[in-house]
Structure 1
């Protein structure tokens, strides 16, 4: 019996592009909708494994789903364009992934990420999990909180802090010496928060529950990898898009490509070898 994936978009072109990208996923049945009202009804009647949204206002669709379902718990993938990117407001226990629509339509990016998300969700629900998967602490309290959302929440926090830093820079030149000292103290606190190791420790704890021994095995095989390298590898293992990685690190796309190139050199990979694909099969 096929599982259902519900795909919703308010433009027929986007809907057709998504279906074309996922056409080789024969183990799933795709149900499409172009109206929010249909999304609401279908999400309740067919109980899809996953919902993919590509509306001009994904936030409105999410809000409608929450109003329609008292206990909404279906994972959602939101595809957005560059000018649509903004923080999504979701309920605490919701599982929401975001991806740039243009990136998803390139090569096999969308299907690769969707398959990775489905695998991640099955692992989180306890299906075919390794015996080494032993959830502890706060991560065991709600396994429906996915790792990608956790990292992107950190990204949103950093974005807010960056805006505060920019505002402080604007004020710095027009205030007295005492106020300047106070402003610099705030900036230094923000910098410390950006480098807070606790975020990485929390991330590793959750990540290793889902991908046991990945970091340990990778570090053992390539001891030259830095903490930043390992983070980058983890994000690739999670099938995160280059756009999401760029946002998390606060860098441009060229820097993302440069980092990937340097990682391939450290791992002594051939030119034709794809780093993302290599890490997907690494330590499985």
Structure 2
């Protein structure tokens, strides 16, 4: 087991503690947190009770807090197997509620546990997962820029312990950049002090380490175990062995007082052994070597009760994770099948709706068309009836007009015949008197036509207007002939009404055909009736 690596792990655990310190805790948790250094066993029991109680209340957040508290104590007391159990249980719960903060820090803790057993691939995988989550949280402003510090710090120390100095320096620079404009970190100051020691810049190193010591005396006394060890190491490298011994011994006393960082006692014993050998005090050198061996065997020995699985890291989390992933895959498949079925039903429903809509539109258009056709037919029928009625009235009036005109012609014929007969009988008859009487009764052709024309115009109001518009060159005689043709008068009837001879009527009809542009086969009567 790499003792220096364990030092780094405990260092990062203390950094991540601040993430949860502000969360509201129950009374069991608060009491356990107070006792974690004074009475670790009782603290573990209280954390377990807090965990069970939180599960009963379905308070997942508090349950995760309690598991993390247990895991930290187990890791401080070198019981890594149980620490691993606590962390993977907490991670499963954190993934269940999708808490990015918990998932982030638990991956970091699991990374350290894997690294203790030199399973570097799994360790780096978990560290990188932790960094990836932190970057997303910082980018989306769910967390401040300094939130990613502990992730970079974990990898920086991981590579330093493995003497990959180039990668160590890269991640240490990332640590410095991540806390830019953020409150000063004395954890980082202590690590920089250690780096300065390796660079043989002892005075600068001691200055940073002593500044860190003042901070931890007030804020985290248990971490002074590590600080005194680092200061002692700096004095040893500088050659001031007396001061180095004092700080190593103080580191051991603090570890006993706070029941914390037990592995540092082994490193302190080893350093004291080296110093006394240099001083040729072999008795004390042997004494501290013996203490180191006994403590190392009790903590890291293969027969240790707490570390039966020290060289065989349990894969409970991995197995549980794989089962969870399989169940999640099955759930997703079922969900996809359900979504596909719903998608299929939606498309069928959509198709039915579209078909129904199309059919409805077709029926609506068809009914609308039928309705329009019926309405149009009704209007046409009404118009036809109205036209027929008007034509009937017009025809009736024209018949009356014709009858009246014929009566007028007959009257004229009768009076003419009477006048002829009376003129032949001269005995006892005053011919002049008779002629005056006949002339009084008999109207002139001009007055007869005016009377006829007035009545014709009142009945056929648009006839003359249409005739004049279409054939503006027609004379009055032509117009009269047209009116009489419309009423189906014969040539003889026309001559009587117009007071002209039948031959004149024939001549007028012939000229009218030419003016109207009719051919020999064209009917003059049909043409005039169409105007």
TM-score using structure 1 length: 0.39
Whose strand proportion is higher, 1 or 2? 1
Whose helix proportion is higher, 1 or 2? 2
Which entry has the higher C-alpha Rg, 1 or 2?
A: 2
